[in-house]
Structure 1
Amino acid sequence: MNRTAILSDIHGNLAALQAVMAHIETQKVDRLVCLGDVVGYGPKPCDCLDIVMDFSFCVLGNHDSSALFDPEGFNAAAEQAIFWTRSQLEKRDDRQASDEGPCVSRRRMDFLCGLPRTVREDNVLFVHGSPRGPTNEYVMPEDIQNTKKMEKLFSLVPHLCFQGHTHVPGIFTTDSTFLRPDDLPDGFDVTDPDIQLMINVGSVGQPRDGDPRSCYVTFDGQHLEFHRVEYDVEQTVSQIEAESELDNFLGYRLRDGR
């Protein structure tokens, strides 16, 4: 497998995405993929989509889906943000890629409409939520105590499953362990074909593990590594404060990685 940078949960945070993209330039990767939730919460959904549209692939996240359809199970701030996001995506931009090409807004919506729920490459699965519920199911660190849930999830994992959605990075193993990035300073070897792992790559745009830095993973088929990247949090906070239809809390939480 080519050396791959795996990003997830960008959530319209352009400052974070730009910092991660700059860091990726130092990693000699062959391709970039995204595990969904390009939009939602953050103040720059269109700019983030324009970048991700050039990735090798992206899977559908629950916020991406909700930008197209009505959100389900969102709290008030998240619901308000997704309706605002939809309004941004629907704004007509008359700049044309070519005389015959569709307007930019249509290309963004078409991109979201075409996102797959899963991508599988040999024995590696890519989802947003979980192998059982690719778009919506959360797999939290505390789920290692839920034996039945974990057994069912791992029964659907071919070898490796990369996922996001919780914004909490780490590796789930079949022996009921959750390994956090701090536990893996040298990364993790995955050459044993008999092991099964679920790898949460964390969040670019809204980390929730108490570390405000963006997180992503590099993977070359044999070894994976977590990367934390600092970005200008206050820039994103200011951009959210400038949008009256976005709850300021969505910016303030970024300062604490919550």
Structure 2
Amino acid sequence: MKAIISDLHSNIEALEAVFDDIDRLGIKDVYCLGDIIGYGPNPIECLKLVRERCKLVITGNHDRAIYDKESCESFNVRASKAIKWTIEQLEEIPDALDYLRNLPEVAEIDGIMCVHASPLDPIREYVTPQYAIEKRRLALLFEHVPNFCFVGHTHIPGVFTDRLTFNPPEKLFSNLYMLDPGNEKALINVGSVGQPRDSKVDACYVTFDGDSVVFRRVPYAKEKTRGKILGIPALDDFLGNRLLAGR
């Protein structure tokens, strides 16, 4: 059994709660699909914990923005200010920039592709549920998925299939998706640990046993994280308030 996490966004309360849940399940192998930092108040603690606990880590757009200024060009003002503040905090970790700079864009777990954003654009593309309505772009994506692909980035968990459908976790039986190699391709968004945006406020991640994927929700001390954000002038209050709304 493996655990796959993504989009932690410097939320140590959520990350610790998820690792506690992973430990209760007896899972040893944890994989991270990027965006360790950005938005939240505890980049140092999150980066240290990921380095201690994760077997594999790939890069996200916020991770890249720490050392690549061009990556910030598409960021809104809130995100850009948070990145500037995060860069200052990470100066306490001497090799932080080197670590983030050396994270891969693409990796595999048991032969399954893993990227932060999408198979065509591993760093930036937002594969949203709208793709299942417009369909053309989703069909193009599946031309580049050999069988299954794990992604994050949108903070919206669920399963896209090559039948050009999208199923959020609550529409899956027991939050479980059974892999069906040879009959159905799937792009699986594992959701966000640190900043869910699907109107759910609990941290989200998935477990994977080779045959199935289970979406898990974990409560955490959201008010504590929000309070930290509101106490840091460089972090917009919206970034704290959104944690209580799941948006």
Give TM-score, length-normalised by structure 1: 0.91
The residue number in structure 1 matching 2:166 is: 178
Choose from 208, 225, 234 the match for 2:197: 208
Q: Note the C-alpha offset of 1:244.
A: 1.1
Higher mean displacement: 122-131 or 58-67: 122-131
1:110-189 to 2 correspondences below 5 Å: 110-121=98-109, 123-186=111-174, 187-189=176-178
The residue number in structure 1 matching 2:79 is: 78
The residue number in structure 2 matching 1:224 is: 213
Letter of the structure 2 residue corresponding to residue 87 of structure 1: E
Separation in 1 of the partners of 2:145 and 2:94? 35
Letter of the structure 2 residue corresponding to residue 176 of structure 1: L
Q: Is the Cα–Cα contact under 8 Å of residues 159 and 194 in structure 1 kept in the other structure? A: no
The residue number in structure 1 matching 2:88 is: 87
Give TM-score, length-normalised by structure 2: 0.95
The residue number in structure 2 matching 1:8 is: 6
Q: Is the Cα–Cα contact under 8 Å of residues 46 and 108 in structure 1 kept in the other structure? A: no
Separation in 1 of the partners of 2:108 and 2:17? 28
Is there any run of 5+ residues in structure 1 with no aligned partner, and where?
A: 92-104
What root-mean-square deviation, in Å, do the aligned CA atoms of Structure 1 and Structure 2 show? 1.1
Q: Note the C-alpha offset of 1:120.
A: 2.2
Separation in 1 of the partners of 2:12 and 2:110? 32
* SS of residue paired to 2:132: helix
1:196 counterpart = 2:196: no
Q: Note the C-alpha offset of 1:191.
A: 4.2
Separation in 1 of the partners of 2:12 and 2:135? 38
Separation in 1 of the partners of 2:80 and 2:58? 21
Q: Note the C-alpha offset of 1:122.
A: 5.2
Deviations 1:225-253 (A, max 9, x none): 00000000011011111211111110001
Separation in 2 of the partners of 1:254 and 1:161? 27
Q: 1:185 to 1:231 in 2, by over 3 A?
A: farther
Q: Note the C-alpha offset of 1:51.
A: 0.8
Q: Is the Cα–Cα contact under 8 Å of residues 36 and 61 in structure 1 kept in the other structure? A: yes
Q: Is the Cα–Cα contact under 8 Å of residues 170 and 199 in structure 1 kept in the other structure? A: yes
Query: Larger Cα Rg: Structure 1 or Structure 2?
Result: 1
Is there any run of 5+ residues in structure 2 with no aligned partner, and where?
A: none
1:92-103 to 2 correspondences below 5 Å: none
Separation in 2 of the partners of 1:50 and 1:78? 22
The residue number in structure 1 matching 2:38 is: 40
